[in-house]
Amino acid sequence: MKLLRMKYTKWFQTLKNGISSQNPILISVLGICSALAVTNQVENAIAMGLGVTFVVIASSSTVSLIRNFVPSKIRMVAYMVIISAYVILVQMFLEGFFPTIAKNLSAYVGLIITNCIVMGRAEAYAIKNPVKYTFIDGFANGMGYTLVLIVVASIREILGFGTWLGLPVMPGSWINWVVLSIAPGGFFIIGLLAWGLRSLTKTYEE
């Protein structure tokens, strides 16, 4: 009974929107540059996903906190400064603790700043809502993004390299699908996933 009631709370709706019915990558088609570029290995996808999740949560919450003090004319610049401060934090963290991942992701970590999801959530949600919902919204969108990244990366790594998180999973006679380990593979997999999720949730475009 309690679970049933949960379905109708704002918390649950916000969470569900971010992860499936308004999934940032597959439905809204936002933040796909990094989703395509870093997903040839699961390890990179996880790092990128968590990095973006952290930046979305932190920057949305900050924007929400100061939403009553920032004049609307300069809000864009304010977002930029807030977001880049957190991105620099993520970059320094990765360089300090996970130097190999930082090297693999190279410029793409810095490009979280221009990831439309981060800016989009600040403008579409955080500027109008109190901190507690903004936090959930940031978490849901970050997770929606991370999940898609991990799924895409798993498919690409298993078929393209025959491994998962670096462990061999395919039989020895497996011939790697090289096309999935290079850029076009990302396009095909995300296109097919978008087709699947859109058919399931019946969100069609003209």
Partner 1 sequence: MERLWDLFLASILSQNIALIFILGMCSLIAVSTSIKNALNMGVAVVLVVTLTAMINWPIYQLLILTNTTKLALLVFIITIAATVQLLEMFIEKFLPKVYNSFGIFLPLITVNCVVLAISLFFMNREYTFAETTVFAFGSGLGWLLAIVLLSGVRIKMKEISNIPKGLRGRAISFIILGILALAFFAFTGIGSA
- Binding region for partner 1 (CB under 8 A): 29-33, 36-37, 76-77, 80-81, 84-85, 87-88, 91-92, 106-107, 110-111, 113-116, 119, 179, 182-188, 190-191, 194-196, 198-199, 204-206
Nearer to partner 1 by Cβ, of 15 and 119: the residue is: 119
Q: Which SS3 state, helix, strand or coil, does residue 74 take? A: helix
Least CB distance from residue 45 to partner 1, whole Å?
14
Nearer to partner 1 by Cβ, of 30 and 58: the residue is: 30
Least CB distance from residue 1 to partner 1, whole Å?
36
Nearer to partner 1 by Cβ, of 13 and 21: the residue is: 21
Nearer to partner 1 by Cβ, of 9 and 199: the residue is: 199
For residues 6 and 117, what is the distance between their CA atoms, to the nearest angstrom? Answer: 27
Three-state SS across 136-190?
HHHHHHHHHHHHHHHHHHHHHHHHHHCEECCEECCCCCCCCCHHHHCHHHHHHHH
- CA torsion through residues 96, 79, 123, 58, sign: positive
For residues 28 and 24, what is the distance between their CA atoms, to the nearest angstrom? Answer: 5
Least CB distance from residue 16 to partner 1, whole Å?
20
